[in-house]
Structure 1
């Protein structure tokens, strides 16, 4: 009986983390959408902005798909995509600031958020044992 309770607590904790992280990636994607809406209407801002929009929304969508994965291998594959897309999102944010298309000071918290998202996803990916 005790073993079952302990396992349920662990599962509840894992489930809570999964739901919280799903919400976090969605919120981050919404922040990127709002940023995109504020970008100047120039050619380079549009190109980088669309790439940023695609990669950020891909993180949220693929994490959601990973949570619904039918196997460990499917979960791992989706997680790998999430790591790549989150890292790409960081690149586009850096380019927006470094090119002075958008003020770096207004990008800092979003850059930090995607740095943390990459770190969490990469750690989760490393934990996969292939079983």
Structure 2
């Protein structure tokens, strides 16, 4: 997968999360968890784009680590929302699976970069 494809995929993911949040009922729990979820899920795409503009391998790696953390946080808040919105469990699980796939891609990239750095 090239960087442009991953940029598009992370942007589409942020949009998918926003659409999910629009569908959730308005209550205190959904409001607070949704606010956190919007921030971390949109941060995935923003930080990946920043990584693509990195000035060095170390900078790229650091930015990818932020993407990794934001994806993990996104998955956490999706898990919490699933507990309180059982009627939306399927769409929440679909978004969780996409986050997990993106996380696997990012972690694989981090591992590859670290291996290349050890060979230098």
For normalisation by structure 2, the TM-score amounts to: 0.90
1:1-131, aligned counterparts within 5 Å? 17-100=2-85, 103-129=88-114, 130=117
- Unaligned residue ranges in structure 1 (runs of 5+): 1-15
CA contact (8 A) 1:40 1:101 kept: no
- Unaligned residue ranges in structure 2 (runs of 5+): none
Deviation at 1:77, TM superposition (A): 0.6
Deviation at 1:101, TM superposition (A): 6.3
Deviation at 1:100, TM superposition (A): 2.9
CA contact (8 A) 1:45 1:101 kept: no
Q: Measured at CA, do residues 67 and 102 of structure 1 come closer, stay the same or move farther in structure 2, by a change above 3 Å?
A: farther
| Superposition misfits of 4+ residues, deviation over 4 angstroms | none
Q: Measured at CA, do residues 77 and 102 of structure 1 come closer, stay the same or move farther in structure 2, by a change above 3 Å?
A: farther
Aligned residues between the structures:
116
Structure 1 CA distance for aligned equivalents of residues 48 and 36 of structure 2: 18
Deviation at 1:103, TM superposition (A): 2.0
For normalisation by structure 1, the TM-score amounts to: 0.83
CA contact (8 A) 1:86 1:118 kept: yes
Structure whose CA Rg is larger: 1
RMSD: 1.5
Structure 1 CA distance for aligned equivalents of residues 10 and 54 of structure 2: 17
